[in-house]
Chains A and B, each alone.
Chain A
Amino acid sequence: MLNYQAIQDTIKIITDTLVRTTEQNVFNEIKFDISNLINSNGFILTVIGYSVVFLALFLLFIAFKSLTHVITTQTHRKYSKATKIPTDKKELNVIGDVTAAISVALHLHISEIHDFESTIITIKKIQKTYSPWSSKIYGLRQHPKRF
């Protein structure tokens, strides 16, 4: 005999769960209350928090602005000393696009040199003094002659 009771129980559990889930009113637990904001010092936390984030990034901005200035001045001084040509600081500020263009040009130039070199090597004649030890005439590829 099939145990219908157990099967019925299982079905009842499933249907109960389905009903319970659909009947749940998801919006009944949360209510809008502005006093929570005041009572929990949320506003003060917001002001302090946001100010600190701004302060941290502002300090980073100041630090790197100054760092850039220091490095550019140093480079300018070194360059002027080495070349002994008076240059403007702004001339040393190379934009990224220019660097990329120079890099590509150099890369292409170097690649071409390589191709040219290999051509020379291919057509170059190498003179070697004759030696019977390396001669192809006496090599093993020659079949022995029968007499």
Chain B
Amino acid sequence: MENIIHDIEKFIRFTGFAHMTIGHIIMIIVGLIFIFLAIKKEYEPLLLVPIGFGILIGNMPFFENIGLQLGIYEEGSVLNYLYFGVVKGVYPPLIFLGIGAMTDFSALLSNPKLLLLGAAAQVGIFLTLMAALTLGFTLPQSAAIGIIGGADGPTAIFLASRLAPELIGAIAIAAYSYMALVPLIQPPIIKLLTTKKERLIKMKPPRSVSRREKIIFPIIGLLLTCLISPGGLPLLGMLFFGNILKESGVTKRLSDTASKSLIDIVTILLGLTVGASTQATTFLTPQSIFIFILGAISFMIATAGGVIFAKVMNLFLKGEHKINPMIGAAGVSAVPDSARVVHHMGLKEDSSNYLLMHAMAPNVAGVIGSAVAAGILLSLLLGV
């Protein structure tokens, strides 16, 4: 009889209920909210479903550190092996390969001055870096937090894995959350900074870009950006490699794999493990809350930076060359969500004003800009 009771006690001690804390409950609710937003509101479902479910997986309480090898932070566990790709920054370059193979840079090539909007929007990264420093974060941690303003999940994970691995879960979750919330965050800022007249500006349709230009772009892009900021080589190298696979026209099979199967596989692994890394026992700290607040500020500054710079550019442009300042908001690299948001806002103001192609230019420039920013921060901080 005593043995049976002993076994029951043991069973109870090993159930999740025995180890449940308020932290776990909070995180499970967060995971459910992510899943709800993805399914009901369709906010970045390809990211939020894996991350949301990952949060549920990561926050199933269990008896930790007794050799069960279950948790993501326990060496030898399956989740720990999958998490290796996040910690060592393996997944982000593979995601960039897929993005390169999917992206058509012709909107940017037809109007190269829009590249500057992608640079302007990176202001969020650097102002947030300073804000994080004043709050007592170390310089590498501040840089990793600031990159959330680049609105680029893979770049944020890549930089955090190098500079502040202890904050990677919070940074990744913040970056992806704000990317998913682009339709909620950006419109009020855009409206606040632009007049009705500015929002109605119709831009000159983009010219057609020759195949030769499209092939030369990834080569020159790689040479210029990586010579200036070699720290961004894993990201930029893969981005431009993916693009040349697409544009060369002779590697269709490789391009298809990179833009479909490979990116899907890596997104699943990345989303799930990033979600699972939010284990309440290690994730719910005061720092995480500050990272979320700073991330939101960073994102807002980045949006505002792009819009304001577009307005400044308009001071020097005339007639049909003027740009609709709303597309400056797409300078944050949440591809293609921020471009889509700008497009819909343009259609709301004037149903014949199609801004999607124009907004895609600063959007893809933002991807390059945030990768360059990550590279320069990496070089400056790891090189010290």
Contact = CB atoms under 8 A, between A and B. Distances in A.
B216 A53 contact: no
Interface string A25-38: 01111111110110
B12 A7 contact: yes
A60 B376 contact: no
Q: State the majority secondary structure of interface residues on A.
A: helix
A124 B316 CA distance: 67
* Chain B interface extent, by class: 35 or more
Interface in A42-97: 42-43, 45-46, 48-50, 52-61, 63-65, 67-68, 71, 75, 93-97
Interface in A13-35: 13-14, 17-18, 21-22, 26-34
A68 B115 CA distance: 15
Contact of A53 (B133, B205, B206, B372): B372
A58 B283 CA distance: 39
A120 interface: no
Nearest to B109: A64
B217 interface: yes
A105 B182 CA distance: 38
A29 B139 CA distance: 17
Given A14-B20, A52-B229, A94 B119 contact: no
A3 B207 contact: no
Interface in B2-24: 2, 5-6, 9, 12-13, 18, 20-23
B130 A46 contact: yes
Given A71-B210, A95-B206, A61 B142 contact: no
B372 A63 contact: no
A60 B112 CA distance: 8
Interface string B200-218: 0000111110101100110
A49 B207 contact: no
Given A18-B22, A97-B205, 16 more contacts: A10-B18, A26-B289, A32-B136, A45-B143, A45-B381, A46-B127, A46-B129, A53-B372, A54-B119, A56-B119, A56-B225, A57-B116, A67-B220, A71-B212, A95-B205, A96-B206
6 contacts: A10-B9, A48-B380, A49-B377, A56-B229, A57-B369, A60-B368
A-B interface, 8 closest residue pairs, ranked by CB to CB distance from nearest? A57-B119, A64-B112, A26-B286, A42-B133, A46-B126, A99-B208, A95-B205, A61-B115
